[in-house]
Amino acid sequence: MTSSPEPLLTDSAAYDYDVFISYSTQNKGWVRGELLTRLEAAGLKCCIDYRDFRPGAPAIAELKRAATTSRKTLLVLTPDYLQSKWTEFERYLLQTRDPLNKDLRLIPLLKEPCALPEDISYLTYLNFAEADDAGFAWTQLLTALGKPPDATPPLEEIPQNWLLAHPYGMPPHFTGRVAERQMLSCWLMQDLQHPLLVLRALGGFGKSALTWQWLLQDVEPRQWQRVVWWSFYEEQAGFDNFLRKTWAYLMGQEPGETPLRQQLEQLLGVLQRQSVLLVLDGFERELRAYTALSIFMKYT
């Protein structure tokens, strides 16, 4: 007599844990430190071997219990993880239940550059191996685990006289990108010959996160009292609405029946007379020429 595999729990079933963390003990410093701390700070209930496996129970049985009673399983991929025979067995056990990962319960996290085996390479992984993408990767991870970062930043961080029409949902504890932020600051404060800066990269490279962090942390509100952040990725955020909202912000009144062409001409006139910083996130949606583009403009 053969026994059938234990059924997978459905999304409506109750899980003991939100996520089980599968990792190599060679990487325990980062996993048990930053990763576990940040996941639990986001309100996720994590299962991890050194703390949640029952003393005296067979490790294989505990691994099976963790995978079955966790809503998601996170694979922390490094060369050490892939070279370990134990984690290889662990991985096979996890993938046997859903080989094609149709339920998206298995989430690969690439912590260090390594050649992925075929049984993992077909899955879309979260890239933590590139330091410049760390902020975006944390947002992706928390979102995949059902705890996306709050899209509304604390009000005290936003100068009241700035028009930040579409606040960016930053991950907690954003770090890095120091060189890029310095480049933006040098352009803003020192490059008087170029009022326009285009920041171009493929989608997902963290342009929005970088720019939002730079804007709130590095731009001096007392010097730049007029700032507009507009995201063309948002619904109903086309150029007509951008023009109307920005015109009203800088003019101090609604444009009313003023024709769009006249609004544009008047807006350009104001920009030439005032010190204004414009950040146009996702402007390629208006230009329809590039896959990823952000526009910065300053008028002094």
The one-digit pLDDT tens for each residue of the chain (300 residues) are 344 444 444 444 578 999 999 999 999 999 998 899 889 988 999 999 999 999 999 988 898 898 889 999 999 999 999 988 777 777 777 777 777 777 788 899 999 999 888 878 888 889 888 755 567 788 889 989 988 876 544 444 678 899 998 887 765 556 567 888 889 999 999 988 888 998 887 666 678 888 888 998 889 998 999 999 998 877 778 888 899 999 999 988 898 888 888 988 998 888 888 889 999 988 877 775 344 445 556 655
If asked whether residues 78 and 185 sit together in one domain, one would say no
Residue 4 in any domain: the answer is: no
If asked whether residues 273 and 238 sit together in one domain, one would say yes
If asked whether residues 22 and 135 sit together in one domain, one would say yes
Residues 6+ apart with CB under 8 A from 106: 72, 73, 75, 94, 95, 98, 123
pTM (whole model) above 0.85: no
If asked whether residues 187 and 281 sit together in one domain, one would say yes
79: left (phi over 0), alpha (psi -120 to 50) or beta: alpha
Could you give the CA distance from residue 141 to residue 126 in angstroms, rounded to a whole number?
Answer: 7
If asked whether residues 175 and 119 sit together in one domain, one would say no
Residues 6+ apart with CB under 8 A from 97: 5, 6, 8, 67
Residue 9 in any domain: the answer is: no
Residues 6+ apart with CB under 8 A from 240: 260
Count of domains in the chain?
Answer: 2
Of the three residues 109, 144, 179, the one that is the final residue of a domain is 144
Residues 6+ apart with CB under 8 A from 123: 101, 106, 108
Within 13 A of 92's CA, how many CA atoms are on the CB side?
A: 6
If asked whether residues 288 and 170 sit together in one domain, one would say yes
Closest CA to 8 of 98, 104, 72: 98
If asked whether residues 292 and 236 sit together in one domain, one would say yes
If asked whether residues 196 and 265 sit together in one domain, one would say yes
Residue range(s) defining the domain that contains residue 256: 155-299
Inter-residue contact 217 to 144 (CB < 8 Å): no
Residue 7 in any domain: the answer is: no
CATH code, domain carrying 207: 3.40.50
Of the three residues 144, 167, 198, the one that is the final residue of a domain is 144
